[in-house]
Structure 1
Amino acid sequence: MFIALLVIVVLLPAARFALFLSLPAGDGRLTEMVELGKGRPLRAVAQELESRGIVSSARLFTLYARLMGGDSRVKAGVYLFDNGMRPSRILSKMLTGDVYQRLFALPEGYSSFQVAEMLDKRGIFTKEKFLMACRDEVMLSQLGIQAPSAEGYLFPGSYNILPGRTEQEVVREMIERQQEFLKNGVRNRLKARGLSEVQLLTLASMVEKEAVQPAEKPLIAAVFQNRLKIGMRLQSDPTALYGVRAFAGKVSRDDIMKETPYNTYRIPALPPGPIGNPGRDAIEAVLSPPSVPYLYFVGRGDGSHQFSRDLASHNNAVNKYLKAPPAPPRGTK
């Protein structure tokens, strides 16, 4: 086979083949996505590259790939090429599996609104369409989620959002990753904690919003659950702002007085659902909180919190770290 190919090369005008190998098809301004499916013949890929203007000759590219022994070693995937690449660079990308990646990282604790804004700024999806996908009742029902939106069910982590993927497909992947995590070692522990799945995710989302230092997540989870046990309002600042404006670490008196379904200064129990999308650590903190007597915490100004067991101690901590007269009892903040 190799000898036959060499004969073909000899018969081809040497100058033409050398020119094909040394010069790109264009000036690099044309960029194209090409999908190399598993089992797709290299000849078909080469023809697509030629039709899109990435190589000047499908026949010569196929011949070159065979001469290099690469026709059976190319890796499937979606590739990004431009017409300023030489054939050697194009083949090298396909042999090494240098596939196109459009990575998007969903941070722990971010709400669906924040995720939508990030995707919009990156030019991946519009904010409105992503939020619509999060509220797709048919998809949520198919995935067994009895909630008005996917809030709390989007698993934090990295995602490769390839061209052509829809908002629904990405939201589904985010949900399925979280469901896989919950299925493996989480759902069987809910009963022991006396929590439903939505309660777990709601508490974990609050922990994510309140915690700055990861090591404090279990303590914050313990404070919330201690309060729930004695029927004490959770009074968590981020809940007062959910659905109203972005949480930036501070709330005003007007914020905590607003009547919203999520404001735990106004409602006597958990919010009706999560206020963000919790990660593994926050979920684990809710499932395994330490046995501590704390009912209050206040920020020290350096990302850490002072935890207190009674209101007098809490007010002293407020005086010390916030340098302000004690406010009326406001719980956690």
Structure 2
Amino acid sequence: MEIVELGKGRPLKALAGDLEARRILSSARLFTLYARLKGGDARLKAGYYQFDDGMRPSQILAKMISGEVYQRVFALPEGYSSYQVAEMLEKRGIFPKENFLAACRDAALLKELGIDAASVEGYLFPGSYNILPGKTELEVVREMVQRQQAFLKESVDGRARAKGVPVQQLLILASMVEKEAVLPAEKPLIAAVFQNRLRLGMRLQSDPTALYGVRAFAGKVRREDILKPTPYNTYLIPALPPGPIGNPGKDAIEAVLNPAAVSYLYFVGRGDGSHQFSNDLSSHNQAVQKYLKAPAAAVQGGS
């Protein structure tokens, strides 16, 4: 199996020679003659194509005339951190994990994109990408960030400024909402909890922040996790983390811009994806005891 690029304006003869060299065709000359007899040489569509040595010349020609180009689609899920994205890309055989993470932290790229942070975390747009052969990690990161920046400029920046919310703060909160919420309908409620706690000077005490950069968040944290000192652990730091803990989608960003009009300060998972929300610590601890069935686990956290 071979991936071959048919560049715009590339002569058919040169392409046929490439296919012969890769043993996809037995004769470049005969294929060129065949394509011209069929009138296909003027109808070939540029792009990357996947061929194998079992294909007949007619199949090869038909594929390039129809534009059946090779696609290596990668979907970046909402909320995934750059670490999770890097692991997915490595498992798919697209990029080595460390190379992608290095691109996310590349100082020159951050300056080019106007990101005043240590990495592009929070600025990778969740969605589908066609990662063609030859694309570098830096090019893919640039594309992901530019798509996020285009969305922010078109739909978010003006409203965020009107509310007095810096974009970086917006993305930090949205990334936390994305990690905590399972049900889309609860995102505005969780956003409200975090913003209510910030107004009161309370620690956010969000489980996913205790695990960022340490291990993947799977919905549960241990006591040693919340006691582990990291710059992102909101059980220990008195404010927002220094940066996003993932790459939020549109719904989480909207939830931060338009939180629910509630006075909740706490929430705990019910075990089915939903959360029990509370206004005071006593009610929250009762909910923890009910849903986690572990009185000793009751904490003053948001989750």
TM (norm. structure 2) is 0.96
2:145 corresponds, among 160, 172, 175, to 175
Q: SS at 1:184's partner residue?
A: helix
After TM superposition, which residue ranges in structure 1, 4 or more long, deviate above 6 angstroms? none
2:65 corresponds, among 95, 101, 118, to 95
Q: Does 1:67 align with 2:24?
A: no
Deviation at residue 167 of structure 1 after TM alignment: 1.0
Deviation at residue 244 of structure 1 after TM alignment: 1.6
2:233 corresponds, among 263, 268, 277, to 263
Q: Does 1:292 align with 2:272?
A: no
Q: SS at 1:80's partner residue?
A: strand
- Structure 1 distance, partners of 2:298, 2:227, is 13
Equivalent residues in 2 for 1:179-190, closer than 5 Å: 179-190=149-160
Q: SS at 2:31's partner residue?
A: helix
1:312 corresponds, among 279, 282, 285, to 282
Deviation at residue 328 of structure 1 after TM alignment: 5.0
Segment drifting more, 91-100 vs 34-43: 34-43
- Structure 2 distance, partners of 1:141, 1:252, is 38
Equivalent residues in 2 for 1:147-296, closer than 5 Å: 147-296=117-266
Name the amino acid aligned to 2:225. D
Deviation at residue 161 of structure 1 after TM alignment: 1.3
Residue in 1 aligned with 2:52? 82
Deviations 1:13-69 (A, max 9, x none): xxxxxxxxxxxxxxxxxx322111122232332232223221122232222223333
Gaps of 5+ in 2: none
Residues 260 and 63 of structure 1: CA distance in aligned 2, closer, same or farther (over 3 Å): same
Larger Rg: 1
Residues 52 and 327 of structure 1: CA distance in aligned 2, closer, same or farther (over 3 Å): closer
Deviations 1:229-248 (A, max 9, x none): 11111110000111122211
Name the amino acid aligned to 1:323. K
Residue in 2 aligned with 1:21? none
- Contact 1:318 1:326 survives alignment (8 Å): no
- Structure 2 distance, partners of 1:220, 1:176, is 28
Equivalent residues in 2 for 1:19-98, closer than 5 Å: 31-98=1-68
- Contact 2:203 2:237 survives alignment (8 Å): yes
2:87 corresponds, among 117, 139, 142, to 117
- Contact 1:315 1:326 survives alignment (8 Å): no
Q: SS at 2:155's partner residue?
A: coil
- Contact 2:281 2:300 survives alignment (8 Å): no
Name the amino acid aligned to 1:39. G
Corresponding pairs, count? 303
Name the amino acid aligned to 1:144. G
1:128 corresponds, among 98, 103, 108, to 98
- Structure 1 distance, partners of 2:108, 2:291, is 49
Percent identity over the alignment? Answer: 76
Deviation at residue 214 of structure 1 after TM alignment: 1.7
- Structure 2 distance, partners of 1:328, 1:35, is 59
TM (norm. structure 1) is 0.87
- Structure 2 distance, partners of 1:122, 1:209, is 23
Deviation at residue 315 of structure 1 after TM alignment: 1.8
Name the amino acid aligned to 1:46. A
Name the amino acid aligned to 1:122. R
- Structure 2 distance, partners of 1:194, 1:201, is 14
Gaps of 5+ in 1: 1-30
Deviations 1:131-160 (A, max 9, x none): 111110001100000111111111111111
Name the amino acid aligned to 2:6. L
- Structure 2 distance, partners of 1:217, 1:235, is 17
Deviation at residue 122 of structure 1 after TM alignment: 1.6
Name the amino acid aligned to 1:142. E
Task: Indicate the structure whose relative CO is greater, using CA pairs within 8 Å and at least 6 residues apart.
Answer: 2
Deviation at residue 309 of structure 1 after TM alignment: 1.5
- Structure 2 distance, partners of 1:169, 1:184, is 22
- Contact 2:289 2:298 survives alignment (8 Å): no
- Structure 1 distance, partners of 2:235, 2:100, is 30
Deviation at residue 108 of structure 1 after TM alignment: 1.0
Residue in 1 aligned with 2:109? 139
Deviation at residue 188 of structure 1 after TM alignment: 0.7
